Structure 1
Amino acid sequence: MTIKIKKLIFFGIIATLTCFYFSQEVLAEYYSSGTLISGNLLATSTVNSIEYFGYNCTTTATTTLKVQFSQDNTNWYNATHSADTWTELSDGNHLDSDRIGLYGWFADSIFYYKMQFETSNTSTTPVLDEIKIWHNG
């Protein structure tokens, strides 16, 4: 084997190991849970009623995404007004069809949502791409 071939093999091995090392560093690791609280979504609106919550999200077998709602940023409810419980979101685009009905939320200019992101596999995480609120007012 010539010296040129030996050098080529040596540098090829070094390049491969370097790429492997950096690829290991790039792998993301997520917390097992996290919470996001929105700002007041209706701060500049006067509404008669809040009707629907639409969303677009990605979940997997090892991830979940849950939502709560509040009109004072202190007391939190699921979509059917049960205190301190969550509404679990389904994977996919639910912005216009299969959105969550929020019937019975009184007219006010204060409305927050809180998202709970959970995973049992810290190399994956649920993703919330977009939300949409329907209100009458």
Structure 2
Amino acid sequence: MKFEIKIKFYAKVFLTILIFLGGVGVAEAAYETEGVMESENYFPTPGLSLVNSFDYSVTIPGGTTAKAQFSYDGRVWYSTAGVLGAWDTLSTGSQSLDLSTLGWQKGQLYYRLWLTSDGSATPVFSSVSVTYTPLGGAYYVYELNGTSTSANLLPSSGVEEISRFDYSVSSLPPETSLRLQFSRDEVDWYNSAGTLDGYDTLTAGDHYLNLSGLGWSGGAFYYRAIFTSDGEFTPILDSVGLRYNRDLLLKLKGLLLFKGKFQFR
């Protein structure tokens, strides 16, 4: 579903019209160096909706910029990557920003535009729109916290050195978190720095943790994912991978990759 309004937004304009006897003189326009516009709640009707994208059409002259932020409560603002306080830099033309990875389904959406100018020109938005999926009264409730522990990821022998742990997090909504711990015996758990009972806090996207400092080898390796939720949203761990050196003549590097959605519900 798509809800659209047409807007034209200009930075504050100082317009002087010189009127001469017998005619009208030249009008001069100057723009503020920057300005911010905040929207009202964008959804036309109450109810839960899953936000999909923010579409816009804008002309951005040279010497000017346009950026956007998003909020589900009109107070705390994020980029499309879910980074608190960050902005998305917009491009001229008809474009779209993917909001689906935010996982927002609170029935509210606010956007904020930050425009800058060199004084002679300003960005001009001809339209903005939001695509979303009404949830039809469905309401997803998640546990406030949960833990998922893996089986042993390694073969029983031939592992000389465990070097790194790869992961992909497709969704890490605000007010949720995802942490990892590692173990060789499922009793004592460590973070990647080797701190007993420590943990590594994950971020959205494709990343890895360096495990070479642990000095682990042998045929046993477990990881534990710790999820927290605000009840409405949950992190999604898409895949994990473990890199290690095999104890072979060619010193082949091994890679275990596990794909699929891991989400605590």
Give me the identity figure in percent: 32
More helix by share: 1
SS in structure 2 opposite 1:49? strand
Are the equivalent residues in 1 in contact too, given 2:160–2:244 (CA < 8 A)? yes
Query: Which residue number in structure 2 is paired with residue 46 of structure 1?
Result: 158
Question: Is 1:28 aligned to residue 145 of structure 2?
Answer: no
More strand by share: 2
Q: Structure 1: 5+ residue runs without aligned partners? A: 1-21
1:1-137 correspondence runs (5 A):
23-24=136-137, 26-57=138-169, 58-94=171-207, 99-103=208-212, 104-119=214-229, 121-137=230-246
Query: Which residue number in structure 2 is paired with residue 13 of structure 1?
Result: none
Rg bigger for which structure? 2
CA positional deviation for 1:93: 1.5
Matched letter for residue 173 of structure 2 = T
Q: What is the TM-score of this pair, normalised by structure 1? A: 0.75
- Count residues in correspondence: 110
Q: What is the TM-score of this pair, normalised by structure 2? A: 0.40
Matched letter for residue 172 of structure 2 = T
Q: Distance in 2 between matches of 1:45 and 1:114?
A: 22
Residues 45-83 of structure 1: per-residue CA shift (max 9 Å, x gap): 521010010000121221110000000111000111100
SS in structure 2 opposite 1:35? strand
Structure of greater relative contact order (alpha carbons < 8 Å, 6+ residues apart):
1
CA RMSD of aligned residues (A): 1.4
Q: Distance in 2 between matches of 1:78 and 1:46?
A: 24
Matched letter for residue 123 of structure 1 = E
Q: Structure 2: 5+ residue runs without aligned partners? A: 1-134, 247-265
Rate the CA distance shift 1:132–1:45 in 2: closer, same or farther, 3 A: farther
CA positional deviation for 1:107: 1.1
Q: Distance in 2 between matches of 1:80 and 1:126?
A: 23
Are the equivalent residues in 1 in contact too, given 2:156–2:218 (CA < 8 A)? no
